[in-house]
Amino acid sequence: MVNNIFLSLGSNIGDRLHYLKFAVEKINDNSLCNVLKSSSVYETKPMGNINQENYYNAVIEVETALGFFDLYHLIKSIERKAGRVETNEKWASRELDIDIIFYNQLIYDGENLKVPHKDYSERDFVVIPLLEICGEFKNPVTKKKLIEIDYIFNEKYILNKICNSLL
């Protein structure tokens, strides 16, 4: 079975664009994965801990034969290869952050992992890139196409567009 996945990518340490492209490259290196689309890359303000560098953020669509947990372990290994060290600090700076936003129509509510990503709809730096590449995708919870959902952002994080694609 081929699964269609939407992942958000973020980086705010070092060469941020390099780390986002590194994620795409490493996902494509897996013979069971293929990055199909990339949104534009946006520079964004950090959330929470604002005493850090701005982020670069993007969303990619991935086609994969990997199961949900295998994909999760793959993206965590890519984060580690990029130099990310897990901390207990919420919203800490990071070389690379990869989140599963949607995995087909799966709804999963685990202790450390929730899909759809629990906060995606409150983050302009996830929603705007998602709308660029998959506005017709139906949210498995609301059953509405992403372009049909009314999003309310309490804060705007996007500062500007850096480039049109990671591909």
| Prediction pTM value | 0.96
Architecture field, domain 3-163: 2-Layer Sandwich (3.30)
Question: What are the backbone angles phi and psi of residue 82, rounded to the nearest 5°?
Answer: -80, -10
Q: Of 73, 122, 72, 76, nearest to 100 (Cα)?
A: 72
The predicted pLDDT at position 50 comes to 79
Return the ∠ at Cα 48 (arms to 68 and 15), rounded to 5°. Answer: 70
The ranges assigned to domains in the chain are 3-163
Is pLDDT of 88 > 80? no
Supply the mean pLDDT for the chain.
94
H/E segment holding residue 68 = helix 68-81
Confidence of residue 1 (pLDDT cuts 50, 70, 90): low
